[in-house]
Structure 1
Amino acid sequence: MVALSDFQRIGVGLVGFGLFFILFGILLYFDSVLLALGNILFLSGLVFIIGLRRTFSFFFQRSKMKGSSFFLGGVIIVLLRWPLLGMLLEAYGFINLFRSFFPVAFGFLGSMVNIPLLSKLLQKVGDSSSMV
């Protein structure tokens, strides 16, 4: 298991609460206050986890500038209380920022079928032939 410092533990909590508030804000028909709070908590948690310098170097790389501008612009637009447009811009920016990470994540999800208990669960879910 990876040892986390106290700041990183706080960051994980902030990111978790941020994602919760973002999802809750989406469920409540794009509530701008919840989405803004979720965005602030998510970004501050990211800073706590990887550090201020590495966060800035990640967002402001020349190759990721388009994705960063859309993502951070979406955060600002959500803060200005235009939640639907802001979340669309954030989603586009998120896809552009993490484009290189998606194949790794999908490869990891594909390898999860080799886990004994999980593979049995996936087989049972796949074999259900209910007509409902």
Structure 2
Amino acid sequence: MWLSDTQKIGVGLTAFGLFFMLMGVMMFFDGGLLAIGNILFLVGLTLVIGTQKTMYFFARKEKIRGTACFLGGILLVFLKWPFIGVIIEVFGFINLFGDFFPVVVGFLRRLPVIGNVLSAPGISKKAIVE
């Protein structure tokens, strides 16, 4: 499946958004970097999956607590409460996107270098269960 030009731009914006959020946390919760990261992440996500699907994703009843925490955390970052905002935002992010984590780990296990690390005895799920 090929990505359209709009989706490619969305992937780039989402990646930059995650990068700015990471840098904002590394710079001791710099509110400006976190705000830019949040805006880029939301715009990128919207460009990747489309406006209607984005609205549906955030408005589902089973994910309303995650949506409220995620958007509330973004609001707190904008209101100059970056530390508390990021904590609430991470909780909302886990509630919203937690279903995708096994898919991401499965994809990462197929990559050459990262796959070997994730398949190591101390890290792999099989070693933890046994």
Q: 1:3 aligns to what?
A: 2
Give the drift of 1:107. 4.0
Q: Give the aligned partner of residue 85 of structure 1.
A: 84
Inter-partner Cα distance in structure 2 for 1:118 and 1:37? 31
Unaligned runs of 5+ in 1: 127-132
Of structures 1 and 2, the larger Rg is shown by 1
**TM-aligned CA distance change 1:7 to 1:88, over 3 Å:** same
- Return closer, same or farther for 1:121/1:87 CA change in 2, 3 Å cut-off: same
Show the counterpart of 2:72.
73
Taking structure 1 as reference, are residues 91 and 20 closer, same or farther at Cα in structure 2, changes over 3 Å only? same
Alpha-carbon distance between aligned partners in 2 of 1:73 and 1:80, rounded to the nearest angstrom = 10
Query: 1:104 maps to which residue?
Result: 103
Map of 1:48 onto structure 2: 47
Q: Aligned-pair distance for 1:84?
A: 0.4
* C-alpha displacement of 1:15: 0.6
What TM-score do the two structures reach when normalised by structure 1? 0.80
CA distance in 1, matches of 2:57, 2:29: 28
Aligned partner letter, 1:3 = W
- In the superposition, the TM-score normalised over structure 2's length comes to 0.81
Q: How many residues align?
A: 119
Q: What amino acid is aligned across from residue 96 of structure 1 in structure 2?
A: N
> What stretches of structure 2 of length at least 5 have no aligned partner?
122-130
Query: 2 CA distance for matches of 1:85 and 1:76?
Result: 11
